[in-house]
Structure 1
């Protein structure tokens, strides 16, 4: 079984704490408003902002799968870090056995922040690694961060 990881950084002109709050704690509320062409609805279905909380995101027909559920496995509010694991939906069970993403939001020199992302995955037996899927995953996470950034810049009172 193939497993691997991808590491990348996304720069933002928004402060780290606001972007962290928007993408970790309020994404289930913001996503359907910000990117309704991709996210039809979203909700926390277990827990609430604590370790073990599960969030379900329901997608529009624009995506090849209808939904995904992600669990919050690690949270450090002081360091603006978290780890989320995909527990259902997406490619879980069809291509991927496990997948998780670590996020760390750090202040950038001169303002704004850098979101450091590490995605780890384990493919199901017989599934070949697909470089295109890795690129698509990185593009999707980047688009999410950039959508949140755009919203926060247009709404200075949000996630303050």
Structure 2
């Protein structure tokens, strides 16, 4: 999946990845109620509990583990290891995110998701599409926030 933005790669990475645990619940409280570190110091190997807002989703919470973080190259990897989103059919989902500068001064967010299913379970195109749409929606809300508040995350 690739999503373009008019916001620079460094600013988008700071907001979306480095401060996303604080920013996203602030600007999307109905979707994400809170994010808390339940294991580790917030770096690689840490586990985060994401609690979803009430009424916007049938999902309650999920846990993900940080697998990689490279602040200089704007890359972030994490694995969804527990929660409603796994639907008892998926063992885990690994995400690889990279935000690259674009020629116009904006950025391109590239995301690759790897689904690890239980047994012979299959992930449908509809499930993948729904996940992509939610991720793009959050990314675009962060982009709108940064456009409306250009002095932040410099």
After TM superposition, the score normalised by the length of structure 1 is 0.88
Q: 2:39 matched to 1:41?
A: no
2:114 corresponds to? 120
Per the TM alignment, residue 37 of structure 1 is displaced from its structure 2 partner at its CA by 1.7
Residue pair 2:81, 2:91 contacting (<8 A) in 1 also? no
Per the TM alignment, residue 126 of structure 1 is displaced from its structure 2 partner at its CA by 4.5
Say which SS state the counterpart of residue 91 (structure 1) adopts.
helix
My pick for the range that moved more, 92-101 or 78-87, is 92-101
Inter-partner Cα distance in structure 1 for 2:40 and 2:22: 15
2:25 corresponds to? 32
Q: 2:68 matched to 1:74?
A: yes
Per the TM alignment, residue 140 of structure 1 is displaced from its structure 2 partner at its CA by 1.1
Aligned length: 153
Q: 2:127 matched to 1:133?
A: yes
> Relative CO higher for 1 or 2, CA cutoff 8 Å, sep ≥ 6?
1
Inter-partner Cα distance in structure 1 for 2:132 and 2:104: 25
Per the TM alignment, residue 64 of structure 1 is displaced from its structure 2 partner at its CA by 2.1
2:101 corresponds to? 107
Per the TM alignment, residue 49 of structure 1 is displaced from its structure 2 partner at its CA by 3.7
Structure 1 segments unaligned to the other structure (5+ residues):
1-7
Say which SS state the counterpart of residue 82 (structure 1) adopts.
strand
Change over 3 Å in CA distance of 1:91–1:124 after alignment to 2? farther
Structure 2 segments unaligned to the other structure (5+ residues):
none
RMSD: 1.5
Residue pair 1:29, 1:43 contacting (<8 A) in 2 also? no
1:90 corresponds to? 84
After TM superposition, the score normalised by the length of structure 2 is 0.91
Inter-partner Cα distance in structure 1 for 2:65 and 2:123: 24
Inter-partner Cα distance in structure 1 for 2:51 and 2:121: 25
My pick for the range that moved more, 56-65 or 129-138, is 56-65
Change over 3 Å in CA distance of 1:134–1:124 after alignment to 2? same
